[in-house]
C-alpha cells in the first residue's frame, strides 16, 4: 500500500485540504477528497482492480495517486469548484492570483520542514521531478 498525499492550499484567500489515499489491494481504490473547513467539496475515486496483476503494481498505483492528486489541484486552481467552494460568490478580499501551497508531509515526506510554503507550481514540479537520493 502506498502512503497517501495531503496538502493544504490557499486559494482565493481560503484554506483547502486535498487528501489522496490508497485502500490497498484488498479494496483497490484510490480516493482523492477536496475539503474546505472540513466539508468535502469534491471527490474522485479510481478503481484499479483490473491491474492488480501488473508488474510493479506499487509504482503504478503511486503514479496514479500522484496524477489524481495533481488533477484535483489543477481543477481547484482553474476555478472548477468555485460554485461549491464559494456558494455566495468568491471572497471579495482575495484575488485569484493569491494561490499558495503549504505542504503537510505525508509519511514518506518527513525530510521536508513542516512549515515550508511552496507555490502550486513548485509543488507540481516537485511531483514531476524524480526524487534524488
User: Which positions ≥6 away from 66 have C-beta within 8 Å?
Assistant: 5, 127
- CA–CA distance, 2 with 69 (Å, rounded to integer): 13
Q: Which of 47, 45, 41 is nearest to 14 (CA)?
A: 41
To the nearest whole number, what is the mean pLDDT of the chain?
Answer: 80
The confidence score (pLDDT) of residue 33 equals: 97
DSSP string, 96-114: GGG-EEEE---TT-TTS-T
Most distant pair of Cα atoms in the chain: their distance: 51
- Which tens digits make up the pLDDT trace of 56-115? 999 999 999 999 999 999 999 999 999 999 988 756 444 444 444 444 445 444 444 444
**The model scores a pTM over 0.75:** no
Question: C-alpha angle with apex 42: 34 to 103, nearest 5 degrees?
Answer: 15
Amino acid at each position: 500500500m502506498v502512503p497517501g498525499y495531503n496538502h493544504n492550499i490557499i486559494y482565493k484567500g481560503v484554506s483547502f485540504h486535498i487528501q489522496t489515499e490508497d485502500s490497498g489491494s484488498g479494496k483497490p481504490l484510490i480516493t482523492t477528497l477536496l475539503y474546505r473547513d472540513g466539508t468535502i467539496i469534491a471527490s474522485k475515486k479510481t478503481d484499479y482492480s483490473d491491474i492488480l496483476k501488473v508488474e510493479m503494481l506499487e509504482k503504478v498505483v503511486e503514479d496514479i495517486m500522484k496524477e489524481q492528486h495533481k488533477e484535483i489541484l489543477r481543477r481547484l486552481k482553474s476555478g472548477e469548484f468555485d460554485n461549491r467552494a464559494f456558494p455566495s460568490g468568491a471572497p471579495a478580499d482575495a484575488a485569484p492570483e493569491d494561490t499558495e501551497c503549504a505542504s503537510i508531509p505525508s509519511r514518506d515526506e518527513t525530510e521536508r520542514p513542516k512549515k515550508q510554503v511552496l507555490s502550486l507550481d513548485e509543488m507540481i514540479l516537485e511531483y514531476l521531478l524524480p526524487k534524488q537520493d
